[in-house]
Amino acid sequence: MERKYTYLFFPLLLLFWACTESGGEQRTVLQQSAYSYGDSADTLGLSKATFAGGCFWCTEAYFERLKGVDRVESGYTGGSEERPTYEQVSSGKTSHAESVQIWYRPDVITYRELLEVFFATHDPTTLNRQGPDVGKQYRSAIYYHDEEQRRQARNYMRALEDAGTFRNRIVTELKPASKFWIAEDYHQDYYRNNPDDPYVISITHPKVLKFEDAFRSKLKPSYIKQ
């Protein structure tokens, strides 16, 4: 029997999997951030969402293009280690996942819409893996900030399962948000700041273009191609 796809963007799922490492040696010696975390003056009054869906470069680029999203930061969460570094997390030496923290205006974009983007831009059925990126640091996870987010995420995953959206079972973790450690400065806006990176050119850029085409109605005006 033909599988039904009731969610608009899921046929595009395979276009977005994985965001593999490039230039790893250089990354471990660049300047690290101050490891600040939590709300700041320019995020007060905004709602917050936290997702892990593989390499945070691609995930950050997707969400920061959405109308109603005011800020996206790449970082590490879901683990117990204090002050984790990229070298530690990317090598699987911590219990943290590469994640993004999103501040958004719910009167412009809803949490359910963020869930739609999250599940359309990574594979939630591969345990501790996104394409060639393997390890618990690349797990699929939703870190909810209140009971309403937990309820919406749980119900959305159930709806996906009931609709038979994916061939395999969803393995996305659903856990309460914990301390979010902002990644080193050079990871922030990596896609925008490193257009000549070979990986950005060959992998990330094509994925972002396809994302912009698929989610055109949800993009900020500056990202809409005329």
**Cα(83)–Cα(75) distance, integer angstroms:** 11
| pTM for the predicted model, two decimal places | 0.84
**Has 55 been annotated as catalytic?**
yes
Which of 49, 55, 66, 115 is the catalytic position? 55
Q: What is the pLDDT along the chain (226 residues), one digit of tens a residue?
A: 333 334 444 444 444 445 544 444 333 333 333 334 455 556 778 999 999 999 899 899 999 999 999 999 999 999 999 999 999 999 999 999 999 999 999 999 999 999 999 999 999 999 999 887 899 999 999 999 999 999 999 999 999 999 999 999 999 999 999 999 999 999 999 999 999 998 788 878 888 999 999 999 999 999 987 5
Q: What DSSP string describes 175-211? A: EE----EEPPGGGTTHHHH-TT-HHIIIIIHHHHHHH
